Amino acid sequence: MATYRAPLDDMMFLFEKLRDNSHYNSLEKYKEVNSDLAKDILEQAAKLTENLILPLAKAGDETPAKLENGVVRTPPGYKEAYKKFIEDGWVSLSCDPEYGGQGMPKTISSFFDEMLSAASLSFKLYSELSIGAYNCILHHGDDSIKKKFLPNMVKGTWSGTMCLTEPVCGTDLGLLKTKAIEQPDGTYKLTGQKIFITSGDQDLTENIIHLVLARTSDAPPGTKGISLFLVPKVQVKEDGTLGPRNGVSTNSIESKMGIRGSATCVLNFDSAVGYMIGSKNKGLSSMFTMMNLERIVVGLQGLGLSEIAYQNALNYSKERKQGKSNNSKTKNGADLIIDHADIRKTLLNMKSIIEGERALSFWLAQQTEVSLYHENKKIKEEASDFVSLMTPVVKSLFSDMGMEITSDAMQIFGGYGYTKDQGIEQLYRDNRITPIYEGTNSVQAIDLVFRKLINKDKNIIGSYFKLVEQEIKKNKDQKNIKPLAEKLEEYLKITINFTNWIKEKMKNSKDDVSAACNDYLKVLGFIALGHSWLKVLDVSYKEFNNNKKFFEDKIETANFFFNRVLPRIDSHYKSAISGSSYIMNFKFN
């Protein structure tokens, strides 16, 4: 079984030294959330994930969730662990105190998301969608709905899902057919089928609150005719107690490559009673509150699985002996594989990407809180723009790098990594869904380029580039950092050229743009990681004498990133600007 230790030192370093957003630091609601509180929460989270949740990964993979007589049964140990999970208040960590939550910021809860993802992604998914559903209802539900449903969701005794896709539509939600018929009492009756519903049913909670996209009888066609409905598995009486079973049933659960402990369901809605959330025909925009949060969290899933893969590969490389290294001092026998240059390069590649991603997600967590709670409308809007820009980047880059890192970890283990005994191949299988669900990574790249990059009302990408340029300028004045700041400056210029190329091609060759979207997303992602690493370097040199071992590690890891990872931008750029004619004109037999 894979082992795991939560990277508390790195998380606390970020919380204490990289909490550098003045707008975030001015938020009154988080004034009392200091380092001592953060450390206490994260230490407790580490104990939970390392001791209680981690063993569930293997249990869920070997004994998956199953459907018996219309009821989904979760894997062994899940019910007991979930009971402890909600008793200790982990579902409520970031929820509003008005509904029983603890009100912690995403600068703390995102670290917990990473830990849970590393320990057991399957188990995590049973509560993760609940937080997304909670946020959607909080922002778009009326007061009566919030009072009726949110307290039990925050407590964790009720869970939540999002029900979007159907057999007929996949990602193209404009084709969905689920119908919602209005009733005299203002409720609706929903009929249709939803597929690929994560945690669509389980035996962990008393009730499941489904958020369902559907069409009213008078809805216009396409995405403009989609409304959002809250449909409980068990109906809820006016006093908040449970009533009769609603018209929701599980048709089947998927047999999957990974996350086998999580029940991915086909759900049937047969005249199920539901309540409209938000405005009629505006359901997709309401659901995006949940979807955008989930996309960032999916990125954190990739980060968590990358971290546990790296830890196990590093530990194995310090134990496994094979071959002679170029500088071998061993007279008889083999050297440890960590002494081989290629293994060291692979491990540093993992480490530099993981720590850069964690710093980037921490920066994004601060921006998210500013976008939600700052009093100044202009500041709030700018932060919201940065979150919008970086959401597809974090979702796609972190999950794609998760595939690379879990694969490389398996490679370091060699043949043993391919067997089930070590638990490494499971990390690869579990992560494989992350580039697919919540909008495939190609969809994310298209969203980034066609919706976020090209914006007639504002130049969001230009504003972000200015942030990076400011960080470069500041660090070019520091002797130790100057060479790496200049490297980032060089690749930022390439990225700006790439951006201008896309804007020009958008006018007359959208196929060229479409063929370049994935490359552009990766280029912007590596720039964002470089931006994050510059921030880390700035602190590392200033604080060096306070913790020499820790900061020397940071400086050397950053040096690897700038010399070995950042240059990937070159190949993505050159490949993309070669155009698309030879792609679109190719005749497949």
Kindly report the number of other CB atoms within 10 A of residue 440's CB atom: 16
Compare 328 and 360 and report the one with higher pLDDT.
Answer: 360
pLDDT in tens, 368-404: 999 999 999 999 999 999 999 999 999 999 999 999 9
Q: Which domain holds residue 552?
A: 440-589
State how far the Cα of 262 lies from the Cα of 268, in Å rounded to an integer.
19
Q: From 236, 256, 261, select the one nearest 246 (Cα to Cα).
A: 236
Structural domains in the chain (count): 1
pLDDT in tens, 176-205: 999 999 999 999 999 999 999 999 999 999
Average pLDDT over residues 100-122: 97
Q: Contact, 35 vs 376, CB < 8 A?
A: no
Residue 60 falls within a domain, yes or no?
Answer: no
Position 421 pLDDT exceeds 90: no
Q: What is the pLDDT of residue 207?
A: 98
The mean pLDDT of the chain is 95
Per-residue pLDDT band at 569 (split at 50, 70, 90): very high
Position 454 pLDDT exceeds 90: no
Q: Cα 25 from chain centroid? A: 24
Distances (CA, A) of 154 to 27, 32, 128, 168: 23, 22, 12, 34
Position 42 pLDDT exceeds 80: yes
Q: What is the pLDDT of residue 291?
A: 79
Q: Which residues are catalytic?
A: 438
Instruction: Specify the DSSP element, H or E, that contains 286.
Output: helix 283-317
Residue 536 falls within a domain, yes or no?
Answer: yes
Residue 257: strand, helix, or coil: coil
Average pLDDT over residues 468-493: 96
Residue 496 falls within a domain, yes or no?
Answer: yes
State how far the Cα of 22 lies from the Cα of 376, in Å rounded to an integer.
13
Average pLDDT over residues 490-505: 97
Beta bridge partners of 416: none
Q: What is the pLDDT of residue 72?
A: 97
State how far the Cα of 85 lies from the Cα of 44, in Å rounded to an integer.
12
The answer to which of 344-348, 354-358, 456-460, 553-557 has the lowest mean pLDDT is: 456-460
Q: For residue 461, count CB atoms less than 10 angstroms from its CB and return exposed for 0-12, middle for 13-18, buried for 19 or more.
A: buried
State how far the Cα of 461 lies from the Cα of 386, in Å rounded to an integer.
8
Residue 351 falls within a domain, yes or no?
Answer: no
Position 293 pLDDT exceeds 90: no
State how far the Cα of 338 lies from the Cα of 348, in Å rounded to an integer.
11
Q: Contact, 287 vs 216, CB < 8 A?
A: no
Q: For residue 380, count CB atoms less than 10 angstroms from its CB and return exposed for 0-12, middle for 13-18, buried for 19 or more.
A: middle
Average pLDDT over residues 36-49: 98
Q: Contact, 440 vs 434, CB < 8 A?
A: no
pLDDT in tens, 135-146: 999 999 999 999
Give me 298's structure tokens: 């999916």
Q: Give percent of the chain with pLDDT exceeding 70.
A: 100
Residue 511 falls within a domain, yes or no?
Answer: yes
Per-residue pLDDT band at 524 (split at 50, 70, 90): very high
Give Dmax (Cα) for the chain: 87
Q: What is the pLDDT of residue 179?
A: 97
Per-residue pLDDT band at 175 (split at 50, 70, 90): confident
pTM of the full predicted structure? Answer: 0.96
Residue 93 falls within a domain, yes or no?
Answer: no
Position 174 pLDDT exceeds 80: no
Residue 574 falls within a domain, yes or no?
Answer: yes
What does the DSSP assignment read for 517-542? HHHHHHHHHHHHHHHHHHHHHHHHHH
Q: Cα 89 from chain centroid? A: 22
Average pLDDT over residues 328-352: 92
Question: What letter would DSSP give residue 321?
Answer: B
Residue 7 falls within a domain, yes or no?
Answer: no
Kindly report the number of other CB atoms within 10 A of residue 376's CB atom: 12
Average pLDDT over residues 321-349: 90
Q: What is the pLDDT of residue 332?
A: 77
